[in-house]
């Protein structure tokens, strides 16, 4: 049977953050292959046993493993991406889910192919931490019944399946200016953190409190590179005014 790779999926990167078990890495690669994805990034794997990984991936998905990019930290793995969706089963005051797999799929596919989008999966043991969630534009939760714990590869398959299914509908491509990369957004947050420090906000609350609020405010804002440049221009002016006031 001829292999079908949908061109609409080439700009989507699947990221496994600190996976613990080689079998789950291999099984996830197999899911990518099943659904027509080709880009896999793995961040700080706790046990990189390539024989076990390839055994679970099977020969058909071995190319996904051989082409996979390995990173030591998440920030390096996502810095060239424009948008990032984080998956989590844990919700709460600081974790407002914005989508299910079914609703995020058409949203992702509505972007032009030059917009690089990541789907981030956390460790089997602790999922995604608040700091990692803070990097995401969207938070995706897979609906379940009374038991919310899913195997890593199961979660990967569900997201990939919904994205593959959504390609059957022809989305309307939106024309937008270049979106800011995550590296550019993180530079803006560091700049904002410096402004918070200089104007004395940290005297009343911890630095993390204000930065989390800022991240929450900007999370669903699809900032362009021009937006980030303008915001940082404001921040530079504020710093200049305070220091020369």
Query: Is the pLDDT assigned to residue 14 strictly greater than 80?
Result: yes
For the domain spanning 7-166, the CATH number is: 3.40.1280.10
Query: Is the pLDDT assigned to residue 4 strictly greater than 50?
Result: no
pTM of this prediction? Answer: 0.73
User: What is the rounded average pLDDT of the residues 185-190?
Assistant: 92
Helix axes 182-198, 225-243, angle to 10 degrees: 20
6: how many CB neighbours lie within 10 A of its CB? Answer: 15
What confidence category does residue 197 fall into, taking pLDDT thresholds of 50, 70 and 90? confident
End-to-end CA distance of the chain: give it in Å, rounded: 71
Residues 6+ apart with CB under 8 A from 52: 22, 23, 26
Max CA separation in the chain (angstroms): 71
For the chain, the average pLDDT equals: 87
List every span in the chain annotated with CATH 3.40.1280.10. 7-166
Among residues of the chain, what percentage have pLDDT more than 70?
A: 89
Query: Is the pLDDT assigned to residue 244 strictly greater than 90?
Result: no
Taking the C-alpha atoms of residue 209 and residue 69, their distance in angstroms, rounded to an integer, is: 33
Among the residue ranges 26-30, 50-54, 177-181, the one predicted with the least confidence is 177-181
More confident position, 61 or 147 = 61
| Spatial CA neighbour of 37 closest among 1, 61, 66, 69 | 61
What was the pLDDT predicted at 2? 35
In this structure, the chain runs to a length of 245
| Spatial CA neighbour of 16 closest among 220, 182, 155 | 155
């Amino acid at each position: 049977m001829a292999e079908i790779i949908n061109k609409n999926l080439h700009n989507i990167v699947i990221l496994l953050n600190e996976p613990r078990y080689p079998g789950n890495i291999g099984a996830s690669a197999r899911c990518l292959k099943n659904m027509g994805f080709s880009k896999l990034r793995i961040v700080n794997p706790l046990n990189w046993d390539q024989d076990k990984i390839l055994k679970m991936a099977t020969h058909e998905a071995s190319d996904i493993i051989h082409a996979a990019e390995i990173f030591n930290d998440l920030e390096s793995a996502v810095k060239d991406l424009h948008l990032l969706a984080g998956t989590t089963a844990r919700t709460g005051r600081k974790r407002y889910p914005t989508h299910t797999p079914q609703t995020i799929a058409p949203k992702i596919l509505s972007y032009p192919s030059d917009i690089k989008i990541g789907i981030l999966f956390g460790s089997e043991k602790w999922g995604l931490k608040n700091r990692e969630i803070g990097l995401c534009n969207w938070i995706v939760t897979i609906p379940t019944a009374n038991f919310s714990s899913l195997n890593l590869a199961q979660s990967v398959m569900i997201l990939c399946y919904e994205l593959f299914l959504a390609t059957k509908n022809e989305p309307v491509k939106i024309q937008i200016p270049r979106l800011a990369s995550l590296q550019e957004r993180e530079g803006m947050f560091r700049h904002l953190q410096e402004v918070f420090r200089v104007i004395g906000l940290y005297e009343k609350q911890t630095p993390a409190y204000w930065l989390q609020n800022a991240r929450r405010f900007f999370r669903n804002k699809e900032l362009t590179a021009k937006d980030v440049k303008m915001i940082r221009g404001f921040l530079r002016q504020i710093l200049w005014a305070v220091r020369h006031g």
